[in-house]
Amino acid sequence: MGDTKRKLGRRALLLAVPLPLLAFTVLTAAPAAAQGPQGWIEVCKQAQGPFVSGAYSFTITPAAGPVIHTDPVQVGQCSDAYQVDAGNATVVEDPVANTSVYASWAYPSARVVSRNNATRTIVANVVAGNVNSETAVVFWNQATVGQVKVCKALSANSAALAGKTFTYSLWSNVGGNYNNLTVQAGTAGGQAVCKFYPGTFPIGAKVTVTEQNTNNVKNTNVVINPASSNNGSAPPVAKLIVSGTGPTLATFTNQALGTLQVCKAAADKETALNSFDFVINGDDENPITVPAGECSGPITLPAGSATVEELAKAHFVLTGIMTVPSNRRVTGYKVNPATVLVPFSGPNAGGNETIVTFTNRVARAYFKICKTSSEQSLQNTAFTFPWSVSRPNDVTGQDVLKPGHCSALHGPYPVEDGEGNLTVATTSENAMATVAVNAITLTGEGSFEPGSPNTAARTASFNLGGNDDGVTTVTYNNVRTPPE
């Protein structure tokens, strides 16, 4: 108990050294085996600055006798007092990751023989005597620290964001939440603009930097440099481990966004019954469907130019493309895919949008009737052909033809009714004594309906095909019956 009281008195004297010491916890003296004149030595640990904590171990090599490996010494405490041979003793601090020795000292100060902070070593003289004449060695450690730098880059199509200020929040596992940092963006597609986060962080600290949301701006990428410091970053959050090879950089790349709407207009009642599919910027995996007479919802895209392609739909043709505002269509009036301008939407959701409208109509086709016969006696005979078309509104007509002649084109007629039902034309030849129809053939776009043609009844029913401006030709061939 007497030794402990004496050590407490001496501890007050240690506070007089140039670097500040915290109150030390006094541990029980640990005598060593006596070899010659004996003295006492102990080792104390102190922090210089933040981020230094935990326990440190030391190796004491006295002037003679066994080497001593101290028990771990917590920051702010001292080791046991060790009885060793008097003379010069070398004390070496065992390395601790991401810390260095800032200063070392002995009390009394005259007992410092040499010191090398880089090698964590001090040589101090131990005088013979009791514990009251001990040599106390003190190591001040500081954390090895690094800095975090936040960088802002813009994609090439984001000129609208040049000069814009972006805000970042920061959290670390050693300091919690920090004040926000702002970085002003440079030029689109140019060099990133960087700013150091104020203060330092111990090497190995885990830091999270989050970019705050900005309307119509997308954070497309986060890159950590060095890459080995990346701790699971994903836009808009950078997660990093502070490295000791210079500042740890978190580069955020942003892209300005625009708004597009795709509308479908119908030029006729058949088209008005249908929906059409569109592909934006070549994304074939995710087409959008727009019913005629309606528009898509707002579509968010990278600002700049965009392509809008209307996928082909059987029996319908594109008649024109327009944009609002009108100056945002880049390609021609009927060019599909269309290229349109989609500027930055600005701070408001869906602002400054581009509306592109595709107008379609149903395909329209024609048919004609031709008459052939190899019978010389029929070459100057006129034959009558009543005909009808199922739509629109069951159009009817009649042609009178001689062999070797064809009717004028009939049409154009819608190739379907808007619900997938093809338009059907029906032709017939009026009966004539001693004349028979021996063949009815079809060429061109259309095809016969089931059960047609019927040469005995002199009738044929056929659709007009599905192509715009297609022509279907039905030909009747006649013979004499009975033969002359």
pLDDT tens sequence across 233-259: 999 999 999 998 789 999 999 999 999
0.95 exceeded by the pTM? Answer: no
Q: How far apart are CA 454 and CA 451, in angstroms?
A: 7
What residue segments make up the domains of the chain, in order of their start? 2-143, 146-255, 257-362, 364-480
- Could you tell me the two tokens for 253? 């790349």
* 146-255 has CATH 2.30.30 classification: no
More confident position, 126 or 51: 126
pLDDT in tens, 361-387: 999 999 999 999 999 999 999 999 999
Q: Do residues 367 and 464 lie in contact, with contact meaning Cβ atoms separated by under 8 Å?
A: yes
DSSP-derived pairing of the beta strands 299-302 and 55-56: unpaired
pLDDT digits (tens, 9 = 90+) for 313-339: 999 999 999 999 999 999 999 999 999
257-362 and 364-480, same CATH topology: yes
DSSP 149-202: EEEEEE-TT-GGGTT-EEEEEEEETTTEEEEEEEEE---TTSPPEEEEPSS-EE
- Is the predicted pLDDT of residue 288 greater than 80, yes or no? yes
Which CATH number is correct for 257-362, 2.40.10, 1.25.40, 2.40.50, 2.60.40? 2.60.40
Token match 């301008």: residue?
Answer: 341
Q: Which of 290, 470, 449, 441 is nearest to 362 (CA)?
A: 470
pLDDT for residue 27 is more than 70 = no
Which has the higher per-residue pLDDT, 378 or 394? 378
CATH tag, 2-143 = 2.60.40.1140
Distance CA 114, CA 105 (A): 10
Query: pLDDT, tens digit, for every residue of 416-440?
Result: 999 999 999 999 999 999 999 999 9
Q: What is the pLDDT of residues 93-131, one digit of tens each?
A: 999 988 999 999 999 999 999 999 999 999 999 999 999
Report d(CA 308, CA 290) in Å as an integer: 13
pLDDT reported for residue 35: 63
Residue 206 contacts residue 157 (beta carbons within 8 Å)? no
Q: 353 near 265, Cβ under 8 Å?
A: no
The burial of 358, by beta-carbon neighbours within 10 Å (0-12 exposed, 13-18 middle, 19 or more buried), is given as: buried
User: Can you tell me the distance from the alpha carbon of 214 to that of 254, in angstroms, rounded to the nearest whole number?
Assistant: 10
- Please report the pLDDT score of residue 483 as a whole number: 58
Pairing of strands 38-47, 135-143: parallel
Would you say 164 and 184 are in contact if contact means Cβ atoms under 8 Å apart? yes
Q: Architecture of domain 364-480 in CATH?
A: Sandwich (2.60)
